[in-house]
Structure 1
Amino acid sequence: MKKQGINYLRNKLVTYKNRVDMRYKQYAMKHTDKDVGITIPSEMRRQYRSVLGWCAKGVDSLADRLVFREFENDDFEVNEIFEMNNPDMFFDSAVLSALIASCSFVYISKGEDDLVRLQVIEASNATGIVNPITGLLTEGYAVLDRDENGAPIVEAYFEPDLTTYIYFDKDKEDEKIPNPSGTPLLVPIVHRPDAVRPFGRSRITRSGMYYQRYAKRTLERADVTAEFYSFPQKYVTGLSTEAEPMDSWKAAVSAMLQFTEDDKGNSPKLGQFTTASMAPFTEQLKTAAAGFAGETGLTLDDLGFVSDNPSSVEAIKASHENLRLAGRKAQRSLGSGFLNVAYVAACLRDNYPYLRSQFANTKPKWEPLFEADASLLSLIGDGAIKLNQAIPGYISIDNLRDLTGIKGGDNSGK
């Protein structure tokens, strides 16, 4: 494959950086939508600017269920590498970044103690050229540090046999460090890749952003309408032209108003304009929530529309079937990326370019997407007994842990 060079990768990163930053703002609930509408003035709309965290909920609902356990058939002892790199933070950070921006990157290097270090870099600071067969990069580029204005301070260009560090500080010279692994030390972790989009797809989709924007506009309109709903407009007819002007605030909050007849015996008549109902806004918000829930595999309960009856684990799993399927797909694609990280890290640790095929038997293992409760444990136990009676040894300790997420006791041999 022809080498593109660092300038090409710099321009490529600039092209996609704005999209990634926008999705991070959506996740952080800091994105400001354009003012649209023909009834509410822009100045008033800005006073009632709404904030909604549905996109963050759509990401977290899946990210919190993706818990990486370990590598099975670990012939190259790669689990030790991850254990030395704070795995609780590393895996969660890599998964969350990949779900937000469609991919994240792991920068692999050696520390002063000659131990392999793993650092997660978000997609707004790294890019590369993907090998469509292995999912590894043929060359990569990353911004390792930026100043307070967002300008790069340290860049890195990754090649199969060399890593070049570029410093924008005049006091530092560029470094070129040999790479014994034979693979660029920047590995992508991709969520839902395909042939058209090798860097995957974000959990924050255009459709999801639309439904959230639609709900935010509904909340803003409801907020403005609530002001008139709280203090409905009143009117008085039949006042004498010689009557003193009425204080509008006093008329709104006073418990008792007094009006006297004029010389001809006529008295004023009080009235109140019909207030707008808040019910249509509630229905609009629920419609937006239903659309967002269908897009992300959630339920209305997840978005704050609580149902009356509590659900069991089985009912929750049934209602989250689309979320479960999305989670299984994410486990496959993200697990392949973590296996690539393990492969490159092992090559760097041992200073030897292993073949990727040598890691074919090493399998990433994940905890179950849904934790088992007492009733589910009972059902699994009954099923395991019946299956083992029909086919002895069919259900093992490893199978049970995959189903329940519970590690066996000391007497189980695990």
Structure 2
Amino acid sequence: MKYHENDPGITIPPEIRNQYHAVLGWCAKGVDSLADRLVFRDFDNDDFKVNEIFHDNNPDVFFDSAVLSALIGSCSFVYISKADDQIRLQVIEASNATGIIDPITGLLTEGYAVLKRDDFGNPISEAYFTAQLTTFITGKDVTNIPNHTNHPLLVPIIYRPDAVRPFGRSRITRSGMYYQKYAKRTLERADITAEFYSFPQKYVVGLSNDSEPMDSWKAAISSMLQFTKDDEGDSPKLGQFTTSSMTPFTEQLKTAAAGFAGEMGLTMDDLGFASDNPSSVEAIKASHENLRLSGRKAQRSFGSGLLNVAYLAACLRDDYAYERSQFMNTIPKWEPLFEADANMLSIIGDGAIKLNQAIPGFMDKETVREITGVKGSDQEPPIETGDDNG
């Protein structure tokens, strides 16, 4: 939103073009629309009690920060440290960390991170991570801390990795940036055209050569202009040029919004072009099908990275190098991408009854929570007994 590129237009003079700069936040909206729906719940089958580690590290901020940074920069990094027998987790954005990744495990073989910068952006605290050692560099001071986990204590959280890009790809695509720039240029041209739309150009023909020059500003804002006939009895004629219409800019902006919405899996409503009829939850889910698929993919990618964080945090806490295979049964759990309303709860309830009638015990309260995101009561249901009639 803060970046101003040169407008390649050929009809508007540069001195006028530089007076108008539009600001548009569509790319930020595309990131936030997915990040706000990715809500991490906890780890299931938590044999190593890693949920306690995350609960001690402000999980409401930690998970949202890691997810948002990964969506913007294709990946984020989690720096794991230990102080006073307590595990500390710190999110570092992609611009301040790097490393060499093992494509099999998703862990780093070595890594580097800038932990702190001064007001001018210069690094003042750095760290180099290896499997056996963590080196901290502060100015000319170098401190080595032994690492007994057999892995660098810098873990990447990656969005949509693949064989070509093991560090993933950003949610902000080149196509999305093009549509935002396209809309931004449209708004700037609309602002310039609005000046002529507000004060249309007027003209006068038939004035005598002996008449005094007319003040253009007075002629534009005056409510009454007086013209007298000349010696020959002729009078001037007034006219106004046709004003430029703002409709083409509106249509052009909608075209850019439609392209951006298709790229990001959003709808026109998400970008401020409200529809006439409000949508139900089912209609919103149907219109956001691409967003739902992107969210499910992001949950799988981020879940693998968060599981690696849990694995190394448990190793550092217990000061013991566990095998990564011991965490295979620990499963990351996420809240549903779309919250259920009353109508959806009723439909799911009817479906659960029918499924359990066909296959007894097929759906329990944990399964229903996975679908709806609503946690049931922890109390056991009362056991119904028949009347004792003797």
TM range (shorter): over 0.9
Q: Secondary structure at the match of 1:257?
A: coil
1:393 aligns with 2:347: no
The Cα shift of 1:322 comes to 0.2
- The equivalent of 1:358 in structure 2 is 326
State the distance in 1 between where 2:241 and 2:380 align: 75
State the distance in 2 between where 1:159 and 1:42 align: 53
CA contact (8 A) 1:93 1:120 kept: yes
Choose the corresponding residue for 1:141, options 109, 112, 120: 112
- The equivalent of 2:7 in structure 1 is 35
1:132 aligns with 2:132: no
Choose the corresponding residue for 1:300, options 258, 268, 272: 268
CA contact (8 A) 1:397 1:412 kept: no
Choose the corresponding residue for 2:352, options 367, 384, 389: 384
The Cα shift of 1:412 comes to 4.8
Alignment of 1:263-412 (within 5 A): 263-412=231-380
- The equivalent of 1:8 in structure 2 is none
State the distance in 1 between where 2:164 and 2:30 align: 24
Choose the corresponding residue for 1:240, options 208, 230, 241: 208
CA contact (8 A) 1:229 1:276 kept: yes
Q: Secondary structure at the match of 1:144?
A: strand
Equivalent residue letter for 2:36: D
Greater CA drift, 242-251 or 293-302: 242-251
State the distance in 1 between where 2:3 and 2:154 align: 30
State the distance in 1 between where 2:299 and 2:128 align: 29
Q: Secondary structure at the match of 1:142?
A: strand
- The equivalent of 1:101 in structure 2 is 73
Whichever of the two has the greater Rg, that structure is 2
- The equivalent of 2:25 in structure 1 is 53
Q: For residues 412 and 68 of structure 1, do their structure 2 counterparts lie closer, same or farther at Cα, with a shift above 3 Å needed? A: farther
Q: Secondary structure at the match of 1:318?
A: helix
Greater CA drift, 208-217 or 147-156: 147-156
Equivalent residue letter for 2:372: T
**What residue ranges of structure 1 are gaps of 5+ in the alignment?**
1-28
- The equivalent of 1:153 in structure 2 is 124
Q: Secondary structure at the match of 2:270?
A: coil
Choose the corresponding residue for 1:167, options 138, 141, 155: 138
User: Root-mean-square deviation (CA), in Å?
Assistant: 0.9
Residue deviations 1:94-147 (CA, integer Å, cap 9, x gap): 000000000000000012x22000000000000001101000001000011112
Alignment of 1:210-221 (within 5 A): 210-221=178-189
Q: Secondary structure at the match of 1:339?
A: helix
Equivalent residue letter for 1:97: S
TM-score by length of 1: 0.91
Equivalent residue letter for 1:69: R
State the distance in 2 between where 1:361 and 1:81 align: 18
The Cα shift of 1:220 comes to 0.5
TM-score by length of 2: 0.96
Misfit runs of 4+, over 3 Å = none
Percent identity for Structure 1 against Structure 2: 78
State the distance in 2 between where 1:105 and 1:144 align: 11
Q: Secondary structure at the match of 1:291?
A: helix
- The equivalent of 2:88 in structure 1 is 117
Aligned length: 381
Alignment of 1:56-95 (within 5 A): 56-95=28-67
Equivalent residue letter for 1:366: W
Q: Secondary structure at the match of 1:47?
A: coil
